[in-house]
Amino acid sequence: MNPVASFPYVYFLGVGGIGMSALARWFAANGHQVSGYDKTSTPLTQALEAEGIAIHYDDAVTSIPAVVRENREQTLVVLTPAIPKNHQEWAWLQAEGYDIRKRSQVLGVLTQGRRTIAVAGTHGKTTTSSMVAHLLHHSGVNCAAFLGGISVNLGSNLLLPTPGPDADKAPVVVEADEYDRSFLTLRPTMAIVTSTDADHLDIYGDKEALVESFRQFVRQIEPGGTLIINHTADESVAAAAPAGVTVVRYGLSASQGPELYAANITAQGHQFHFDLHSAQAVVSELELAVPGYHNVENMLAAAYVALLLGVEPAILQEAVAAYRGVKRRFEFVVTTKQNIYVDDYAHHPREIEAFLRSLRALYPQKRLRVIFQPHLFSRTRDFAAGFAESLSIADEVRLLDIYPARELPIDGVSSEIIFHDITSPSKLLQTKEEVVRDAQTDTSFDVLATVGAGDIDQLVPRLKNILQNRWNGPEA
């Protein structure tokens, strides 16, 4: 039996994390008694509770369910790296000798021996992995998926294979996270690398160490496997592929991705139309409802995986057209004839640049306001200049305080170090309440974007309600 599947009780420290919650759902769906702790109640934790998972929000040993406290040998504890070192429950569970494993370790064990499609990259991996899962599922390929976001099509961050004698043979799609070198627990059959830009320098120290982790990840591709790698990725990563692993480079033109590229790209409203060219097949007239040239690239990689797994081009066309994205990835919240409100999870300068340039391309004559919440003190410190440059694409910028997540404050690091270098005609440092207040009365903008990976998503329903009432236009 799978060594983590043998525990009847599973307790999650940080159950509300997007990757943690997918694992929690997997264990619950497979008959385990699941419970957990998280810092705050969110729509995701509330959904888990509605699914029967007991969750508490105070760091107290007495709040750990009695069945966990009384059954040490039969309990698996799953830990997220976001849990602080001084967490009382974690300290007690360690002292009591519980089997405690990181989320990445559990994911590595669950996928061991399975045909694994791992999607890695400092950005783009959530969207691309959700695309792979959707294309396979929509095309009738029995598969599983652990995603880092809520797929609009699936309505979840977890896809379970259809039960049956071949369920254990179903391929599994996994978002392979480079944070804390988590993806090194995986041994994929196919791997996609979307980008290797510098990030998580609080863990790696410098970009070279980050790139080395990607090289290690690529070296773990199974013999006879495939590496599908974006043309922007560090060349040494592709070169690290073991002998016998097929390397496929992809991009928006034949010069960028000689083995996999797009042609005849056109934007029609929110849709992008393009042809896919590869050695396996040419698939014409693909229609992608999620805008952005970066999403055309993401879909190229995902569609190629589907082709390799036997999906016919005609079926692939239907599956691509049916894709509706991931929550908080270029998500259109309010759309009227004159005004647009979009929400996005972007939290790295290159992600923000790609997102805002796509908005500019869609609405070149409209005034764009972006509300951005920086994520992590260390990331703000390391990329302040890049954040300022990318945010300056907007006409108006509103900066919130830094969302600390797992970090303690760093002296001299605040949103102001971004703010000073923003060149947009209008810029302000604001609180969430000031953002909401302005949305009720300020009519200077036509397009609004909320951007960030922290708790800025809590603003979305409030702003949606205000703007729908204020703009008073029919949903498009």
> Which tens digits make up the pLDDT trace of 117-149?
999 998 889 999 999 999 999 999 999 999 989
Q: What are the Cα distances from residue 435, in Å, to 356, 370, 412, 462?
A: 19, 11, 24, 10
For tokens 């990689």, what's the residue?
Answer: 301
User: Which amino acid is it at 260?
Assistant: L
**Inter-residue contact 131 to 299 (CB < 8 Å):** yes
Report pLDDT for 476: 44
**Inter-residue contact 453 to 347 (CB < 8 Å):** yes
For tokens 């294309």, what's the residue?
Answer: 135
For residue 427, give the 3-state DSSP assignment. Answer: strand
**Inter-residue contact 237 to 245 (CB < 8 Å):** no
**Inter-residue contact 89 to 80 (CB < 8 Å):** no
Please, what's the largest Cα pairwise distance for the chain?
64
Q: How many CB atoms lie within 10 A of CB 462?
A: 14
DSSP bridge partners of 79: 13, 102
Say what the pTM is.
0.86
Report pLDDT for 15: 97
User: Which amino acid is it at 16?
Assistant: G
Report pLDDT for 179: 77
**Inter-residue contact 75 to 66 (CB < 8 Å):** no
Report pLDDT for 474: 46
Which regions in the chain score pLDDT beneath 50?
A: 474-476
H or E segment to which residue 169 belongs: none
**Inter-residue contact 278 to 259 (CB < 8 Å):** yes
Residues in the chain, overall count: 476
**Inter-residue contact 388 to 361 (CB < 8 Å):** no
Q: What is the pLDDT of residues 97-106, one digit of tens each?
A: 999 999 999 9
Report pLDDT for 198: 67
DSSP single-letter state for residue 96? T
User: Which amino acid is it at 88?
Assistant: Q
